Amino acid sequence: MAMNDPSLALIEHALGRLRRNQTRRSLGKIAEQHPPAQVDLSLIPVLYAVEEGAEAGTEGVTVGLVAERIGLDPSRASRMVGSAIQAGYVERVASQTDGRRIQLRLTDAGAKLAEEAHKFRQAFLGQAIAHWSEHDRTELARLFSRFTEDLSKTDPC
């Protein structure tokens, strides 16, 4: 594909708008439900990473996996995981296969907050495409899933 393909600029701009809208609107709604002293919304990506890692059936969710999933260096991810642990959303557990290895899992409070975040985001997306046909919604889901899967396999330039 040519680097001057006009569709690339359109996709890039759309992704930027999506990120800004998702963050500002859906996370803002979550903040309204919880006093700011109780919820650090910057931890939600950590919760999602732990949740996704557990769902993927990996050999255990580690700080390294969290760093990889949210695109941070390991030291920054370690600090964020530490904050999530301190807030009571994530806990450290010994590996079932290697007791020397520490894994991460969501606490009940972490799972509840992650579920709330999912519900808010899905409601937000549902409002945006409510007038779309079922076929268009299905196609968006298919193509966007394909795009994000391919994106995860692509090395940054």
Phi and psi angles of residue 105, each rounded to the nearest 5 degrees, phi first: -150, 155
Q: What percent of the chain has pLDDT over 70?
A: 84
Are the CB atoms for 106 and 15 separated by under 8 Å?
no
84 within some domain: yes
pTM beyond 0.85: the answer is no
Q: What is the mean pLDDT of residues 3-14?
A: 87
pLDDT value at residue 123: 82
What is the pLDDT at residue 36?
47
* Residue 115 in domain: yes
- What number is the average pLDDT over the span 10-20? 87
Please indicate, yes or no, if residue 20 is contained in any of the structural domains.
no
The pLDDT of residue 142 is 97
Query: 8 lies in a domain?
Result: no
Residue 43 located in a structural domain? yes
**Predicted pLDDT at 157:** 62
* Alpha helices by DSSP H, the chain: 6-21, 28-33, 44-55, 63-70, 74-86, 108-128, 134-152
Question: What CATH number is attached to the domain comprising 100?
Answer: 1.10.10.10
For residue 85, tell me if it sits in a domain. yes
Mean pLDDT along residues 119-132:
87
Number of structural domains in the chain: 1
The answer to whether residue 4 is domain-embedded is no
The parent domain of residue 59 ranges over 28-142
Whether 18 is in a domain gets the answer no
pLDDT bracket for residue 51 (50, 70, 90): very high
pLDDT band at 56 (very low <50, low <70, confident <90, very high): confident
**How do residues 71-101 score in pLDDT, each as one tens digit?**
899 999 999 999 999 999 999 998 777 777 8
User: Above pLDDT 90, what percent of the chain?
Assistant: 45
